[in-house]
Every structure is written in structure tokens, then in C-alpha cells.
Amino acid sequence: MKSILSLLFPVIFSLLGLAQNGMLPIPDFDEMKVGDSFPIVYDLRGIGRLSPVKAQPSGGCWASASMGAVESVWRTYGFGKYTLSDKNLQLFNGFDSLRRTNGNHYMATAYFARGSGPLLKSKLSDSLSDPGQEIVAYITDARFLPNNPKTIKQTIMDYGAIYSMLYYKNKFLDTLTYAYSTNIEKINHAVNLVGWNDTMQTQNGRGAWIAQNSMGKKFGEKGFFYISYADTNILNYNAIWPKWIPYDPASSIYYYDTLGATIPFGYHDTICCGMVKYTARENLLIKKVGTAITSPDTKVTAYVYGNFKEHSKKLSGQKAIIEEKECKMPGYYSFDLNEPVYVKEGDDFFIMMKYITPKDSFPLPTEKFLKDYADPHITNGKCWVNANVDRWPNAWNECGADVEYENLRFDLCIKAYCVRVR
């Protein structure tokens, strides 16, 4: 097995030229080649790619694991040895207050995608929703990894710690070996997977994942433990946040969906289109567009337009197109425009996306009320949907808080990443 550095340097790199100031170039996650063979033992501990073990806020394991995963990827690529505020994510994620102690990687992704964080950990960021502190970076992408041990191993080697969920009870932890396993099908805890040991013998068989917990250094093996490959739940829910843009005060994110994709929409077909209208608050350049992806192997095509006639439902003034991209995993994706699009202050611009899925008949990511989980503010007159714009170019249906049909009372999960210009 080649070293990680020898694997990384030949890759075609993306993300707006982030190779600078000692940073390693960041490879495109979607071009990652998953190997067929791996080291018997691999461990991120001791090689400078993990942040210190956390003592989570009460009920905040999911927030600590999310920040731990981000910190590990950033350390892997030399972006900085930051300690990020898990408490800010836990307290000010925007979801139902019951979810503060019952969170997940979808909530963390929504918080990142709208630019609420991550924030550097401090007394202010741990206690105020907006402490007047600049975020460290815009996290522009998330990948929700499949239950595939090879994919998990390759991702740990190439990128760093992975957010993962399991069912945890102290009584199932072997206090001699710190090996853990249960066959109870339930989820109540999140950790970071930081390596593996194929030879480790547990009570449930050979082989275990190495996990960094968030219960302080007195837990387990100085904060770490081993999750048996036989554990019923491990690898069912995994996430990593592999792309980001260093914070620039001239940058801004245009969006309506504060809580991300909650309930998908569709016309009982594998094709669906969505469009959002934004008005430039200043002279700006649109550099990227982003969207949630709810189904694996989704294909997305994106367009930027300058005009939309709401009476005739006709789009015009095409300014940019992003040719079809295949999104192999669910998550959140951002796409670079070939050339930035200039928009004058006060002018409208429209982003249209077409989603095609192989099997899912509800391919459109939408933000909608979901009891005991999400109660977002839904806009009016800003979003439209179309079953298939290629067949019915003018068949746009408005969606929003006050539309007649309840099924259309949602915001679309489509964002624009912009930079202010003078």
C-alpha cells in the first residue's frame, strides 16, 4: 500500500486553489479511488491528524463528532489546528430544541451550508448564537458515506476522521480491552472513526474500528475505544465534510433553506426541476452554486438566468450552465461555475437545477416542516418547481408558505456562493 502522500499528489485538485501557506492540495473527494487491499492496522493517532479528545457538552456527542471530523480533515491538509465550537452547533443549529441532545450529521450539514459555522471555540461562541466572530471557513460540501468498509477505510486514509453513529451503553464495553459491540438495533451516540485493526479479537469476532469518543480522556484508552466489526449499527450512518473555502469577508451565501433538506418532493418520476429567485444585495460575482442531494447516483444540471416572467413562466437571459454532474452519494454538493457571473446590486438572478435519479421518484431536496424536528421559516414568491423543464419549459408551479396546495409549502435547497465586487 502506497503512503497517503504518494497517493494524493498525482490527483487532479480542485477547490479554488487552496494549496497555499503550507497546505496540501485538496483532492476532489468524488474522484477518490477506493482500493481493494488495505493495511491490517491503520491508526490516525500519533501522526498529527486528530484534534484532542473532547469532553462533549451534555447530549452533544453529535456536535462534538461533527467538529472532530472537520478538525481532522483540516489537520490532514494543513489548514490549521483549530478547536471548533461544538457547543455553538448544539445550541444554535436552528432545529427543534428537542434535537439539541438528539442531533445528527444532517443538522450539522445544514448549519455549515448556510454559513453559521464553524466558529472557533470560545466562551462567546459557546454561549451566543452570533458572537460577532468570523467563521473559520465556509464548508461547502458533505458526503454521507455508504455502509461499505472499503469506502470507510479509504476515506480515513485519504481525508481523516469520519463521523459515525451507533448505539452505546456502558455495559456493552469490555473494560479490559475497551472493545465494544451490541446487536441492539438503535442509535443514540456519535463518534469519530479514526482507524481499524483487522487482527483485534473481540467477544464478537475478529476485527474492530478504532473510535475517538467525546467523553474525555478518562474514558476507555485515553478517550478511544474499539468497535467490533460485528456491531449491528456501526457504518449505517456516516459523514465527512471534505470541501471548504477559507473565510473571506467579501463572500456571502444566498439561500432560503436554513435547515436543509427535510422532506424530498417529486412528481412520482425520477426527474424533477427546481428554481430559486435571488436579488443581489450588492454588486457581486456568483462563483458557485450548491444543493442538497437526497438519493445516491443523482445527476444534476444547473443553470443561471437573468430573467423569469412570472405570468408567462418563461426563463430567459441564460448566464451560465453547469453540465450534468453525477453525485454518487447523498449529502451536500457545490459546483464551480466555469466563469463567475456578474450581477448588479438590486438585480434579480435565478438558479435552476434539474435532478435525475435512477430509482427515487422524489428527487427534489426541499425544506419543509417536520414535527419535532424542523419548523423553518418558508418564503413566498421565491421558489418554483417543474416536473421536467425539457418537456414543459413553462410549466413552473410556485411553492412557498402561502400557496394553495399544502404539498408545495416548502423552500428549495439551492444556494449561491458569491463575492462582493466594487
- DSSP states along 164-200: EEE---GGGB-TTT-EE--------EEEEEEEEEEEE
User: Sign of the CA dihedral 56, 60, 65, 67?
Assistant: negative
Is 58 among the domain residues? yes
Which of 46-55, 69-78, 123-132, 388-397 shows the lowest mean pLDDT across its residues? 123-132
DSSP 8-state code for residue 408: G
Is 352 among the domain residues? yes
52-109 pLDDT, tens digit each: 999 999 999 999 999 999 999 999 999 999 999 999 999 999 999 999 999 999 999 9
Is 235 among the domain residues? yes
Angle, CA 325 vertex, CA 320 and CA 326 arms, to 5°: 165
270-322 pLDDT, tens digit each: 999 999 999 999 999 999 999 999 999 999 999 999 999 989 999 999 999 99
Element (H, E) at 275: strand 271-279
Please tell me the distance from the alpha carbon of residue 193 to that of residue 199, in angstroms, as a whole number.
17
327-371 pLDDT, tens digit each: 999 999 999 999 999 999 999 999 999 999 999 999 999 999 999
Is 245 among the domain residues? no
Q: Do residues 221 and 369 share a domain?
A: no
Q: Do residues 222 and 279 share a domain?
A: no
Q: Collapsing DSSP states into helix, strand and coil, what is residue 365? A: coil
User: Sign of the CA dihedral 127, 107, 168, 225?
Assistant: negative
Q: Collapsing DSSP states into helix, strand and coil, what is residue 113? A: helix
Give every CB contact of residue 194 below 8 A, 6+ residues apart in sequence.
43, 44, 45, 50, 72, 156, 161, 210, 211, 212, 224
Q: Do residues 226 and 353 share a domain?
A: no
Is 162 among the domain residues? yes
Last residue of a domain, one of 183, 214, 240: 240
What global pTM score does this model have? 0.92
Q: Do residues 388 and 328 share a domain?
A: yes
Q: Mean pLDDT, to the nearest integer, of 375-397?
A: 96
High-pLDDT (> 70) share of the chain, %: 95
pLDDT in the model for residue 11: 33
Q: Do residues 73 and 54 share a domain?
A: yes
Kindly report the CATH number assigned to the domain that includes residue 148.
Answer: 3.90.70.10
pLDDT in the model for residue 2: 35
Q: Collapsing DSSP states into helix, strand and coil, what is residue 91? A: helix
The answer on pLDDT for 3 being more than 50 is no
Is 12 among the domain residues? yes
Q: Do residues 150 and 101 share a domain?
A: yes
Q: Which domain holds residue 341?
A: 250-420
Please tell me the distance from the alpha carbon of residue 320 to that of residue 340, in angstroms, as a whole number.
9
Q: Do residues 224 and 256 share a domain?
A: no
Kindly report the CATH number assigned to the domain that includes residue 300.
Answer: 2.60.120
The answer on pLDDT for 143 being more than 70 is yes
pLDDT in the model for residue 108: 98
Give phi and psi for 97, each to the nearest 5: -60, -25
Would you mind telling me the total number of residues written for the chain in this entry? 422
pLDDT in the model for residue 174: 94
Which segments within 38-175 are labelled E, that is strand? 41-43, 137-143, 162-166
Q: Do residues 220 and 368 share a domain?
A: no
Last residue of a domain, one of 214, 240, 266: 240
pLDDT in the model for residue 275: 98
Q: Do residues 255 and 234 share a domain?
A: no
Per-residue pLDDT band at 12 (split at 50, 70, 90): very low
Residue 24: what residue type? Answer: L
Q: Do residues 187 and 222 share a domain?
A: yes
Q: Do residues 63 and 168 share a domain?
A: yes
Residue 363: what residue type? Answer: P
Q: How many domains does the chain have?
A: 2
Last residue of a domain, one of 187, 217, 240: 240
Terminal C-alpha separation, the chain: 51
Q: Collapsing DSSP states into helix, strand and coil, what is residue 401? A: coil
The answer on pLDDT for 17 being more than 50 is no
Q: Do residues 50 and 192 share a domain?
A: yes
159-172 pLDDT, tens digit each: 999 999 999 999 99
Please tell me the distance from the alpha carbon of residue 59 to that of residue 91, in angstroms, as a whole number.
11
Per-residue pLDDT band at 1 (split at 50, 70, 90): very low
20-37 pLDDT, tens digit each: 445 778 889 999 999 999
Q: Please, what is the average pLDDT of the chain? A: 93
